[in-house]
Structure 1
Amino acid sequence: MLRVPNFMTLAGMGMTLAGTLASLSGTAAAAGIGGHKLVPHRAVYDMKLGDSKDSSGIAGLNGRMVYDFSGNACEGYSVNFRFVTQFQDADGGSQITDLQTTSFEEPSAASYQFLSKTFVDQELVEATRGTARAGDGARTIELKEPSEKSLEIGKEVLFPTEHLLTIMKAADEGVHFFAADIFDGAETGEKVYATTTVIGARAVSPDPGGTKSPEARLAGMNYWPVTVAYFDPSEEDASGELLPVYQLSFWLYQNGISGRLKLDYGDFTIQGKMASLELYDEANCPGE
């Protein structure tokens, strides 16, 4: 059988990435963080195998990721996300994983609705659906799939847009490292990840000069290089240390668009290059 990374982990990574790419919500986002105007958009990324160790069992990988963001700070934000990857092993076997997610986050992170479906070789293997809500003492999750269940998570656990808001606020304040727990509905809808985020120095996107690359539209714009490491608190080793399940690295532009993606699983990486970028008309909040 083809040895690929656990596809549920891959699905969780994809859903987490969808959340990480999500734009900001709440009053601060409406005004822009540090003067940043975040734009609704649709970005398509071509995904391919980067570095790979023999232990990964992966001889080849290609795929495509589509990220569609819309909404505004008054009405909330919607994200539609699809991540399709085909893995090949050294014997020529292959496997296709197809993650499809939709999510909606209310202004000020009052609630977070999520739905995800994971297909392997066109067969549905997992579906997750539920709503997480903010509360005074804790945040509550009401799951509908894969089974009906209610649970609580810590009050300090962040939803995806809150997490990105924290990244951008930290970047503006010159903070280069912070830790946070996040919930994004990944896997069975019960997992809370511990994360650490490293933010590089602000830079200006170079002009590629004559290229038709979609990232040429972002030339001259400020960005930060960001790396987010995700840890599963239940997977401590014998010494009590945690190793990251995976790491996401990307350029975070001042308008909320992400480029230069890299997904690092330890024994292999996936590189994401922007293939197309469509900017939607912005719907301003009343009074703007």
Structure 2
Amino acid sequence: MQRVLMNGSVAGVFFATAAIAGVFSWEASGATAGGKGGYKLVPHRAVYDMKLGEKEDNSGIAGLAGRMVYEFSGNACDGYSVNFRFVTRFQNTDGGSQVTDLQTTSFEEPQAESYQFLSKTYVDQELVEESRGTAKAGAEAKTVELKEPSEKSLKINPEVMFPTEHLLKILDSAESGVSFIAADIYDGAETGEKVYSTTTVIGAKAPSQVEAGPENPDASLAGLHYWPVTVAYFDPTDEDATGELTPVYQLSFWLYQNGVSGHLTLDYGDFTIKGKMAALELYDESDCNR
């Protein structure tokens, strides 16, 4: 069960695919500093209640409950900051339980020039994994300087995307009618040495099913449209006997035209985690004159 949150790239999934709560405002016409499709990221704080979805008998999980908090700030001129926390309590079929706590912070410079990250994973309040470092873009390669879990330098392909860079690509593709994206992503997950391959499938635009009303935390989504999106994460080093890759996990969600994501599902193969929005707060935007 630890694989769910021992894998720091869970946070990366959210950063790179509307971050489970990526909030945007769309302009009537023309491009803005946020992206080519005429949108810009809006600072916000989103909270999701998480629970166990479908499970197979061999999953070893009897129950699951948790909460995810995602805070986003910044703009296309100054860069983007993210604070993310995902706390989950698992109940085993043998009667035991375990609390995992994934905490990450990151800062991505404009135009994906560099990416700074710190990720910590606690299991029953004990620190079991930490990564910290900086990745910088270059013409020939991206260079990663790790500080934790040990000091190390490595190079990754210059085509590899940072999280917010990937997020903007998904939104631009959705608005342009592109239904499939393949991209390699680096988010500093686990030991900070792993690059994930991803495939993103974007479905047809559909009208929102959210009802307006002060009792609904997602009432602001009423009257909007959304795209159903599924992102699969693959570990390129994890081939099966036939040489095929199977996803480490998949994230499915509804990406609304203002960038908010709902109807979350994390699929790990033998069990799923469902996420429902519990609160959404939008912050004042900072000026960006580019």
Runs of 5+ in structure 1 lacking a partner? none
1:51 match: 54
Please say if 1:274 is aligned against 2:252: no
- Change in Cα spacing, 1:201 to 1:166, as seen in structure 2 (3 Å) is same
Are the equivalent residues in 1 in contact too, given 2:5–2:101 (CA < 8 A)? no
**Percent identity, aligned pairs only?**
70
1:130 match: 133
- Change in Cα spacing, 1:99 to 1:15, as seen in structure 2 (3 Å) is farther
Partner SS, residue 188 of structure 2: coil
Deviation at 1:52, TM superposition (A): 0.5
Please say if 1:17 is aligned against 2:20: no
Are the equivalent residues in 2 in contact too, given 1:18–1:81 (CA < 8 A)? no
Please give the TM-score of this superposition, normalised by the length of structure 1.
0.92
CA distance, structure 2, for counterparts of residue 158 and residue 37 of structure 1: 19
Give the one of 208, 233, 239 matched to 1:230.
233
In the alignment, residue 150 of structure 1 is paired with which amino acid?
S
Are the equivalent residues in 1 in contact too, given 2:15–2:167 (CA < 8 A)? no
CA distance, structure 2, for counterparts of residue 240 and residue 32 of structure 1: 37
Give the one of 200, 207, 226 matched to 1:197.
200
Are the equivalent residues in 2 in contact too, given 1:15–1:101 (CA < 8 A)? no
CA distance, structure 2, for counterparts of residue 239 and residue 213 of structure 1: 48
- Change in Cα spacing, 1:29 to 1:182, as seen in structure 2 (3 Å) is farther
In the alignment, residue 10 of structure 2 is paired with which amino acid?
M
2:27 match: none
Single out whichever of 102-111 and 89-98 deviates more from structure 2.
89-98
Deviation at 1:182, TM superposition (A): 0.7
In the alignment, residue 46 of structure 2 is paired with which amino acid?
A
Deviation at 1:28, TM superposition (A): 6.0
CA distance, structure 1, for counterparts of residue 284 and residue 7 of structure 2: 32
Task: State the Cα RMSD in Å.
Answer: 2.0
Deviation at 1:29, TM superposition (A): 5.6
Give the one of 190, 214, 217 matched to 1:214.
217
Deviations 1:220-274 (A, max 9, x none): 2232111000000111011010000000111122333222211000000000000
CA distance, structure 1, for counterparts of residue 185 and residue 233 of structure 2: 9
CA distance, structure 2, for counterparts of residue 182 and residue 110 of structure 1: 15
2:161 match: 158
Give the one of 134, 143, 147 matched to 1:144.
147
Deviation at 1:7, TM superposition (A): 4.9
**Runs of 4+ with deviation above 4 angstroms:** 22-25
Deviation at 1:161, TM superposition (A): 1.1
Please say if 1:77 is aligned against 2:80: yes
- Change in Cα spacing, 1:222 to 1:35, as seen in structure 2 (3 Å) is farther
Single out whichever of 160-169 and 39-48 deviates more from structure 2.
160-169
Single out whichever of 11-20 and 210-219 deviates more from structure 2.
11-20
Please give the TM-score of this superposition, normalised by the length of structure 2.
0.92
Give the one of 166, 173, 191 matched to 2:176.
173
CA distance, structure 2, for counterparts of residue 24 and residue 156 of structure 1: 26
2:96 match: 93
CA distance, structure 1, for counterparts of residue 66 and residue 41 of structure 2: 27
Are the equivalent residues in 2 in contact too, given 1:33–1:168 (CA < 8 A)? no
Paired residue total: 283
